[in-house]
Amino acid sequence: MILEKIPQNSAVVVISPPLEGKEVLVSSSIKDDLKEKVPVLIISTDKSAEDFKNELVKEKIFFGDAESKGLLAFIDCYSMHVGEAVKNTSSIKRVPGPLALNEISVALSDIEKEFFRKSPKHCIVFNSLSTMLMYSNPQAIGRFVQVVIAKIKKAGGSAFFTLEEGMHTPDVIVMMEHMMDYIVFVKRENGKLFVKAKGLDGFEDWGEFKA
């Protein structure tokens, strides 16, 4: 299993064309972590926290009381951005949008502090980098990602970033890859999901992914 082979405290970017299965891989990682009582933070830039939760349920990931126990949290960068008058909840922090980089980093620091008290390891899922790259200069997002990865690793966490293939120029992809420890590619063929990973022994070639 590819996810089991990725060492703790790593930064990983998961790349695939839109709707080609990144979500399945990421959801599978969330499921594994929650099962092990590892806290998970989902930073959502292209859908609300509530929609993300619905999708997890659709993927048959039932998180039970993880939210109330502080093991599952969200930073919702979407709802306020589209003008919804939403408020924070105990597990959802709303930030004003994908360009409010400092607000995102403040929310991330606050939640990591809570996670750090609960567990020596945690996982941050950043879905997706493509939305941020759409709105800002890639250099700026590069600086942001570099800072965020350093913070996450310092706190003992692992980071998963998702990136849409075909939406960005090759130099942007190379810049993002450069900051990561592992690059996972996902594709769908004949209804099956295939993955390969740069930097991970035994997974350099395409192989079928089974959740």
Partner 1 sequence: MAFSKEKIARKHKLDFTEGKKYNMVATGVPKLDDVLCGGLKPQSTVLLCSQPGVENVEFALQTLFNRLKAGDHGVYLVNNKLPNSVKLLAEEYGWDLGDYQRQGTFAFFDAYSAMLSLKSGTEYYSSEPQNMQQLSEVMPEVLAKLENDNIILIFDALSTLIDSTKNEDEVLAGIKKFLSEVRKYNTISFFLFTEWLYPKSLTNKIKSLFECVIEIKALERSVILQKYFSVVKAPQAFERKDIPFKIIKPGGVRVFIPKILVTGPYHAGKTSFVHSASTKAVSVNRLGTTVALDHGHVEYKGYEVDLFGTPGQERFDPILELLGGESLGVVVVIDSTMPKDFGRAKEMVKLSNTVDLPVVVVANKANMKGALTVDAIRKQMKLPANVPVIPVVAENMADVKEGKPCQLKSEDVQKVFSALLEVVV
The site for partner 1 (CB under 8 A) is made up of: 80-81, 83, 85, 96-97, 99-103, 105-106, 108-109, 112-113, 116, 135-137, 139-140, 143-144, 146-147, 151, 154-156
Q: 144 vs 211, which CB is nearer to partner 1? A: 144
Q: Tell the burial category of 198 from Cβ atoms under 10 Å away from its Cβ (0-12, 13-18, 19+).
A: middle
Q: How far is the CB of 179 from partner 1 (least distance, A)?
A: 11
Q: How far is the CB of 109 from partner 1 (least distance, A)?
A: 4
- Spell out where 55-152 has E strands: 72-76, 92-94, 122-127
Q: How far is the CB of 119 from partner 1 (least distance, A)?
A: 12
Cβ 28 vs Cβ 196: under 8 Å: no
Q: 21 vs 138, which CB is nearer to partner 1? A: 138
Helix (H) / strand (E) element for 102: namely: helix 101-118
User: Which among 160, 164, 171 has a CA at the least distance from the CA of 187?
Assistant: 164
Q: How far is the CB of 187 from partner 1 (least distance, A)?
A: 31
Q: 149 vs 193, which CB is nearer to partner 1? A: 149
| Tokens encoding 43 | 């930073």
Q: 19 vs 85, which CB is nearer to partner 1? A: 85
Quote the CA–CA distance of 163 and 161 in Å, as a whole number: 7
Q: 68 vs 139, which CB is nearer to partner 1? A: 139
Cβ 121 vs Cβ 40: under 8 Å: no
Q: How far is the CB of 32 from partner 1 (least distance, A)?
A: 23
Q: 25 vs 145, which CB is nearer to partner 1? A: 145
Quote the CA–CA distance of 78 and 43 in Å, as a whole number: 10
* Pairing of the two strands 192-198 and 182-189: antiparallel
Q: How far is the CB of 149 from partner 1 (least distance, A)?
A: 11
Phi/psi at 146 (5° precision): -60, -45
